[in-house]
Structures are given as structure tokens and as C-alpha cells.
């Protein structure tokens, strides 16, 4: 249940981030992430029930779950970084008039995006895979 709540919060945050974009872009990303979340959670529930990960785990079950979570990590992470990068680029170009200030802010935001891209996989795996062996 906790994982479903996390995905719903993620979808709400994506709606807020994409609120001022074109209607087609907003709905295409929201449909993408919604369908991705349904497939991801159904696959995770299937693996958990097939390999009985909650009671008496079958050998190879945690490996299947880890492979499933790490595959979907990239399906979530790459579009998310693209969306955030686009929004930051748009914000920086609108906010700063001086070219050197704009370049400095773009470099700063690039470093922040690289940091987010480095930390987010750990958080995603911790949330959806957990501390399993």
C-alpha cells in the first residue's frame, strides 16, 4: 500500500510540474507515467506472489524482483530528468538576462541534475525493493 501511495504522490507532483505546459505534452507524460506505474506495480505483485516473497521465499525471487525494480528505475528516471532539465532550462532563460549569469546558472543546475540522477536510483530501489537480500 505504501508503494502505491508513493506512486500516486509522484503522479500528482508530475501534474504540478507539467501544469503550465502544452496540453498534449502534459497528458502524454501523465499517461506514460500512469501506465508505467500500473505495469510496474502489477509486475511487482506478480513476482511477490509467484515467488512467495513475504512468507517462505523461493530461490531466485529476490533476484527477479531486483531486476524488475532496476529495469523500471530507468523508465522512471530518464523521462523525469528530461522533464526537470527542460523546466530548469526554461526557467533559467526566462529569469536571467545577462548571458554570463545564465551560463553560470545552467552549469549550476546541470550539477544539481547530475546529483539528483546519482541519488535518485538509491532512493527508488530502497522504496520499491527495500532491504531484501
Tell me the pLDDT tens digit for each residue of 6-49: 889 999 999 998 888 889 988 999 999 999 999 999 999 998 88
pLDDT band at 62 (very low <50, low <70, confident <90, very high): confident
Percentage of residues in the chain with pLDDT exceeding 90? Answer: 44
Mean pLDDT across the stretch 86-99? 88
Of the candidates 70, 90, 69, the one whose C-alpha atom is nearest the C-alpha of residue 25 is 90
**What is the pLDDT, as a whole number, of residue 51?**
83
**What is the pLDDT, as a whole number, of residue 133?**
67
Assigned C-alpha cell, 29? 507524460
Q: Sign of dihedral through CA atoms 38, 40, 43, 45?
A: negative
pLDDT band at 94 (very low <50, low <70, confident <90, very high): confident
Rounded to 5 degrees, what are φ and ψ at 54?
-85, -30
Listing DSSP states for 44-94 in one string gives HHHHHHHTT-SSSPPTTHHHHHHHHHHHHHHHHHHHHHHHHHHHHHHHHHH
Q: Taking CA 85 as the corner, what is the angle to CA 111 and CA 109, rounded to the nearest 5 degrees?
A: 30
Amino acid at each position: 500500500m505504501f508503494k502505491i501511495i508513493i506512486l500516486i504522490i509522484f503522479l500528482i507532483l508530475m501534474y504540478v510540474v507539467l501544469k503550465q505546459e502544452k496540453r498534449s505534452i502534459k497528458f502524454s507524460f501523465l499517461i506514460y507515467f500512469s501506465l508505467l506505474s500500473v505495469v510496474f506495480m502489477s509486475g511487482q505483485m506478480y513476482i511477490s506472489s509467484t515467488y512467495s516473497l513475504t512468507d517462505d521465499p523461493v530461490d531466485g525471487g529476490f533476484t527477479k524482483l531486483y531486476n524488475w525494480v532496476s529495469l523500471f528505475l530507468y523508465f522512471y528516471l530518464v523521462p523525469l530528468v528530461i522533464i526537470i532539465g527542460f523546466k530548469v532550462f526554461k526557467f533559467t532563460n526566462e529569469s536571467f538576462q545577462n548571458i554570463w549569469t545564465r551560463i553560470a546558472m545552467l552549469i549550476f543546475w546541470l550539477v544539481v541534475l547530475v546529483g539528483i540522477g546519482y541519488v535518485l536510483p538509491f532512493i527508488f530501489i530502497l522504496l520499491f525493493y527495500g532491504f531484501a537480500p
